[in-house]
């Protein structure tokens, strides 16, 4: 059975971080060991929140306890998202190194959460530079959105060819696979959005309709489904197609229900058999 150590934030109400990743992964048949970096009442898009921000030493203690059980060699992948502060990022790097020491075949999938188009950077100072200088070289799978891709590569990408060039630049620094989410390319239908996946096998894109609202936690869901698909030995082409189908179907259900938070429980069947499928186009 596939096992993922997921080091992310958690909320009591709603679905972001581990609260957006754990249930979908389990529904997909993946064993998940959640390690929390924060435990808030709700995500930060609300006017207020409460709850503790865990210290890097707290996270280290949890992982040390797991290691003392002798089970870390069972971990196939580490999944991370929002890292909170550079100090937490440094601890995550140490944990990833430990997991790979225990299981050299384990991979690290990092969603480099930093910012987005229209919002700019929304993380603490130091995080973007830490992601660029330390995380990118160490990650095996990277899932930036279009804005984050541009920052990490120091480029402005406008066309699909630009995005491919930037993804290649990231891969040259370390990650074998890059999934660029929320690509908006010049000349594309403004009512659509694209995912672009680039790896050793080639490059593929999937275009889905654009739902006219933003969804907190959709990036966490995307990274989770993509990683689970790859760990099932699916090809990169199949993985990006499945990820687009699942995420769009869940977001559509969320929209239909008028939910602010991802409707993961009502839409759980979409995780297994999504209502929509989309053409996967080979780019090269």
Residues 215-269: pLDDT tens digits? 999 999 999 999 999 999 889 999 999 999 999 999 999 999 999 999 999 999 9
Q: What is the pLDDT of residue 226?
A: 98
Left, alpha or beta for 177 (phi > 0: left; psi -120 to 50: alpha)? beta
The C-alpha atoms of residue 230 and residue 158 are separated, in whole angstroms, by 28
Mean pLDDT of the chain: 95
Does domain 3-282 fall into CATH 3.20.20.70?
no
Q: What is the pLDDT of residue 154?
A: 96
The C-alpha atoms of residue 278 and residue 284 are separated, in whole angstroms, by 18
State yes or no: pLDDT of 70 exceeds 90: yes
Collapsing DSSP to helix, strand or coil, 234 comes out as coil
Residues pairing with 181 in the sheet: 145
State yes or no: pLDDT of 212 exceeds 90: no
Q: What is the CA radius of gyration of the chain?
A: 18
Cα end-to-end span (Å), the chain? 33
Strand 280-282 with 202-209, pairing: antiparallel
Q: What is the pLDDT of residue 214?
A: 86
Burial class for 272, CB neighbours closer than 10 Å (0-12, 13-18, 19+): exposed
For residues 56, 58, 62, 63, the Cα torsion angle rounded to the nearest 10 degrees is: 20
The C-alpha atoms of residue 14 and residue 3 are separated, in whole angstroms, by 24
Q: What is the pLDDT of residue 169?
A: 97
For residues 214, 218, 11, 22, the Cα torsion angle rounded to the nearest 10 degrees is: 160
**Residue recorded with tokens 């938070």:** 261
State yes or no: pLDDT of 207 exceeds 80: yes
How far are the Cα atoms of 17, 187, 210 from residue 190, in angstroms, in the given order? 29, 8, 8
Q: What is the pLDDT of residue 267?
A: 98
Among 98-107, 109-118, 196-205, where is mean pLDDT lowest?
109-118
Model confidence, pTM: 0.96
Q: What is the pLDDT of residue 4?
A: 98
State yes or no: pLDDT of 117 exceeds 80: no
Strands across the sheet containing 280-282:
31-40, 3-11, 77-80, 107-110, 141-142, 177-183, 192-199, 202-209, 280-282
Q: State mean pLDDT over 89-107.
A: 97
Q: What is the pLDDT of residue 206?
A: 98
Q: State mean pLDDT over 108-137.
A: 89
State yes or no: pLDDT of 118 exceeds 80: no
Report the share of the chain in percent with pLDDT over 70: 100
Collapsing DSSP to helix, strand or coil, 121 comes out as strand
Confidence band (pLDDT; 50, 70, 90) for 119?
confident
Q: How many other β-carbons are positioned within 10 Å of the β-carbon of residue 228?
A: 28
Q: State mean pLDDT over 128-153.
A: 96
């Amino acid at each position: 059975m596939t096992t993922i150590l997921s080091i992310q934030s958690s909320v009591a109400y709603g679905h972001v971080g581990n609260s957006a990743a754990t249930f979908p992964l389990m529904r997909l048949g993946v064993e998940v060991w959640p390690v929390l970096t924060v435990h808030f009442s709700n995500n930060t898009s609300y006017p207020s929140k409460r709850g503790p921000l865990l210290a890097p030493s707290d996270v280290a203690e949890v992982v040390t306890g797991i290691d003392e059980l002798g089970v870390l060699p069972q971990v196939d992948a580490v999944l991370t998202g929002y890292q909170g502060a550079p100090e937490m990022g440094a601890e995550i790097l140490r944990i990833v190194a430990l997991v790979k020491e225990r299981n050299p075949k384990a991979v690290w999938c990092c969603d480099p959460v930093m910012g987005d188009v229209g919002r700019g950077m929304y993380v603490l100072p130091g995080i973007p530079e830490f992601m660029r200088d330390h995380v990118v070289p160490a990650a095996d799978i990277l899932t930036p959105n279009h804005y984050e891709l541009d920052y990490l590569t120091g480029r402005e990408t406008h066309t699909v060819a630009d995005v491919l060039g930037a993804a290649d630049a990231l891969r040259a620094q370390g990650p074998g696979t890059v999934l660029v989410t929320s690509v908006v390319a010049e000349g594309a239908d403004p009512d659509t959005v694209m995912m672009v996946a680039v790896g050793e096998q080639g490059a593929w894109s999937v275009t889905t309709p654009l739902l006219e609202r933003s969804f907190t936690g959709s990036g966490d869901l995307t990274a989770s489904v993509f990683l689970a698909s790859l760990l099932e030995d699916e090809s990169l082409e199949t993985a990006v197609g499945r990820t687009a189908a699942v995420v769009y179907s869940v977001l559509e259900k969320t929209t239909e229900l008028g939910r602010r938070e991802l409707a993961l429980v009502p839409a759980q069947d979409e995780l297994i058999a999504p209502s929509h499928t989309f053409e996967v186009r080979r780019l090269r």
